[in-house]
Amino acid sequence: MSSRQQQKMTPEHGLSMLPLLSPLLLSTAAPSAAAMSRHAPSERAAHSPAPPGGTPMLYSKMQAIAQRMLHSEQGVPIKSYKRRLISAIPSAFTGSDLVVWLMSNLNLDSKEAVHFGRMMVAHGYFFSVEGSVALRDDGTLFRFQTPYYWPSQNPVTTDFEYGVYLVKQVLRSKNKIRLLDYELTNLHKMKPKLANAWRDVTNKAEEAVKIYREQKRVARAIMNSQEEAFWRLHRPAANESCVGESLLTRHFCQRPSWHQQAVTEGVLRAEVRFLRRYSVLPRVHISIAVESLIGHCCKYREFDPMLTPVSPSNPWISGDETLWDVERSLMDTPNEWQLRRWACSFSDLLNDVTGRYHFEKFCKKQFCSENIKFWQTGRDLRSIPLSAVEGSVKLIYDEFLQRGASREVNVSAKVQEEVEKDLKSPSRYSFTAAQEQIYQLMQNDIYPRFVKSSPVHRHGEGSKQHYLTGKKYTVATEGYWDGSSENKGTDSVT
């Protein structure tokens, strides 16, 4: 918060932010009384050292919102309230005012605003001045915690400081017990626990009470309520849990960045190992990658109905599904569009129903149809019911992989051993290794011969020339698919 904003703060607003004026009232790490009087609470909140290990993201965001709430003009309205049979309650705000502010400034609905407000109460950014009351959208009064006690400032919560607080509460009024039952129990347990430092605890508490009594009545009431709220949040009763700490531990801690980690020999050796592994990884220059990407896009552009008009029309635009029906149906004579697609890659050929049919016919002529049959059977195995898997695996093995089988495929000895090992626990993926080897065999040996000995080759070459030069190319389609050795006609394509 800027100095200009601090000068505009109302007296009530200033009281709500009033810190305890002595290090004896705060902690051993607190600044001196003179230093605290020179700096406004928001300035100390902004310049306080970060907690060790980094400031939690949750508390950083909550602190930013709390600072906006404390703005003198655009923040939550803070004033004194009067209750029947009770003196005026200074520096307070209602739950409804807070909910309205959250809804208007954070764009929340009423339920979200109430939930967010309760979350800030659980983390100690403000507290109820009327007892342990949950935040509601009503006239219940709340008060902001002093920024020194905000979780984002990493306040000290040691046993020594807690003992000082308990002793102070006893010394402030000997006629009235300010401590709750569990706090009295903690006080009795604290004395033997801090036996060696108990005199320091008592001396510090006495000096703090002396300074406390020098303050005005309103300031004493505000400071006392803030200190009580802080310690009852961080040192709750045995049957209560510290919500803020549990949430923080589970979810909201930032990981330490590299510059926050200690540079040890082990860390440096790990970095060297990583760099050595990274240096031998294969890399592709950007120019080569871009060239490959452009080539792929040009190659498949005509097969994308969103980029190139097709006949029949694009089903996604016209709603006519004729194109999909053609792609799914088996045709004795493939069209020109299919031939060009088959020339692109082996996977495009197998993904087309007509392409698989004609490739299988070609394999029969080459006396190697068992390869495509085995590959298709292994692919179909992955979609059959689980109850039929075991029997199907045995049938496939007996037909294609067993020594002397009727359609034995040629696989390596290593793959054969792997398949036989997988047969001990049959599954849909028992023949994956054999399928991959047969697929590579067909792709590298049979598919090139299929392309060169059919109109697919001429269509593929013409397609490349069409994209590179824009010239005409001539393709032959008739005469091949009906078994004739000579082409009976040609199609001219631009």
449, two tokens: 């011969």
Distance between CA atoms of 206 and 209, rounded to whole angstroms?
Answer: 5
Average pLDDT over residues 81-95: 81
Quick check: 443 pLDDT over 80? yes
Quick check: 272 pLDDT over 90? yes
The angle that helices 159-172 and 181-193 make with each other, rounded to 10 degrees, is 120
Q: 159: pLDDT confidence band, cut at 50, 70 and 90?
A: confident
Supply the pLDDT for residue 231. Answer: 87
Q: Is the dihedral of CA 323, 327, 328, 334 positive or negative?
A: positive
Supply the pLDDT for residue 174. Answer: 65
Average pLDDT over residues 367-382: 92
β-strand partners of 144: 126
Question: Where in the chain is CATH 1.10.167.10?
Answer: 335-493
More confident residue, 305 or 11: 305
> Tens digits of per-residue pLDDT, 245-270?
545 444 444 555 555 567 889 889 99
The CATH architecture to which 335-493 belongs is Orthogonal Bundle (1.10)
Supply the pLDDT for residue 69. Answer: 93
> Of 147, 413, 193, 368, which is closest to residue 421 (Cα–Cα)?
413
Average pLDDT over residues 40-67: 59
339, two tokens: 């031939």
> Tens digits of per-residue pLDDT, 174-196?
666 678 888 888 888 888 888 88
Poorest-pLDDT segment among 12-26, 165-179, 448-462: 12-26
Supply the pLDDT for residue 129. Answer: 86
Rounded to a whole number of angstroms, the CA Rg of the chain reads 40
Distance between CA atoms of 149 and 124, rounded to whole angstroms?
Answer: 8
Which range, 57-71, 80-94, 95-109, is most confident?
Answer: 95-109
The CA-CA-CA angle for residues 478, 481, 483, to 5°, reads 105
**104: part of which helix (H) or strand (E)?**
helix 95-106
The residues near 135 (Cβ < 8 Å, ≥ 6 apart) are 95, 98, 114, 117, 118, 121, 128, 142
More confident residue, 53 or 167: 167
Distance between CA atoms of 382 and 16, rounded to whole angstroms?
Answer: 70
* Summary mean pLDDT of the chain: 76
Q: Work out the percent of the chain whose per-residue pLDDT is above 90.
A: 26
Q: 459: pLDDT confidence band, cut at 50, 70 and 90?
A: low
Strands 489-493 and 473-478: what pairing? antiparallel
Q: Work out the percent of the chain whose per-residue pLDDT is above 70.
A: 74
122, two tokens: 């659980």
The CATH architecture to which 3-156+240-250 belongs is Orthogonal Bundle (1.10)
